[in-house]
Each structure stands twice: as C-alpha cells, then as structure tokens.
C-alpha cells in the first residue's frame, strides 16, 4: 500500500475495502475492564454516549468487533496487556466511505479514547 500511496495510486487512509484509520492508547487498567468499556453498553454510554453499535461475533478473547451505523462501517477493538494493570487498546475503524470521513473520525476517536482513558484511570 505504501508503494501505491507514494505513486499517487491510493489516497491517505485508503485500503482495498474503502478507507480505514487506527488509534491507540495505553491505559492504566486491566485488559478485561478496558474491553468491557466497549462491549458493555452501560459503561460505553458513559464515554461514547451517541454511538449506535451492533456487536459482531469474534473468536479472539482480546478483540471486539462492531458494525457502526453512521457512516456504515466496521469497528475492531483489540486490547493487549502490557503488565499488571496496564493495557493498550487499538481501535481500527474500517470500511469508511472517503478520506474526509477518515480524517474526521480519527480526530474524534483520539478525543473519545482520551475521555475513556481519563474515566477509567479516575476509577469510573
């Protein structure tokens, strides 16, 4: 993809199935608690109140997948333990319609993951 991007054949964030972005944060909480912040609607509403997500099946214990409604796209969340009480979350938002949506959502996800990190590290 970098070869194609360098030659102007693909736009920034463009993949074979549309556009995609990724945002990563390291949070001082256990992996199960961080993943539950995405999978449990009651917790998720506290830091992502307006999201309409439909959970999709996944076999990986450290991953959650969702269909996202606006724009219609896919969200993949992976948590990786980094030591006692410390976990990295990587959020991939895939199948986005265009580069403008990708840029906007990347900025929004940075803000939302910062809010999640603050909430969890404050004991929320």
Q: Please give the sequence-ordered ranges of beta strands (E in DSSP) within 17-121, or none if there are none.
A: 18-27, 53-56, 63-68, 73-83, 86-96
pLDDT at residue 92, as a whole number: 96
Tokens of 11: 């736009």
Asked if the peptide bond before residue 31 counts as cis, ω within 30 degrees of 0, the response is: no
List, for residues 10-58, the tens digit of each pLDDT value: 555 555 567 999 999 999 999 999 999 999 999 999 999 988 899 999 9
**pTM as predicted:** 0.83
For the cut 60, the answer to whether the pLDDT of residue 2 exceeds it is no
Q: What b/e readout covers 82-107, taking b as 16+ CB neighbours within 10 angstroms?
A: eeeeebebebbbbbbeeeebbeebbe
pLDDT at residue 72, as a whole number: 86
For the cut 60, the answer to whether the pLDDT of residue 122 exceeds it is yes
CATH for 20-121 is 3.30.530.20
List, for residues 65-116, the tens digit of each pLDDT value: 999 887 789 999 999 999 999 999 999 999 998 999 899 999 999 999 999 9
Nearest to 53 by CA among 40, 63, 62: 40
């Amino acid at each position: 993809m970098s070869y194609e991007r360098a030659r102007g054949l693909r736009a920034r964030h463009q993949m074979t199935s549309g556009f995609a972005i990724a945002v990563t944060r390291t949070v001082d909480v256990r992996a199960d608690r961080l993943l539950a912040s995405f999978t449990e609607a009651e917790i998720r509403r506290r830091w992502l109140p307006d999201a309409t997500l439909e959970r999709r099946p996944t076999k990986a214990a450290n991953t959650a997948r969702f269909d996202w409604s606006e724009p219609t796209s896919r969200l993949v969340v992976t948590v990786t333990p980094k030591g006692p009480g410390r976990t990295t979350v990587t959020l991939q938002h895939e199948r986005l319609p265009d580069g403008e949506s990708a840029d906007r959502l990347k900025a929004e996800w940075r803000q939302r993951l910062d809010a999640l990190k603050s909430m969890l590290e404050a004991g929320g």
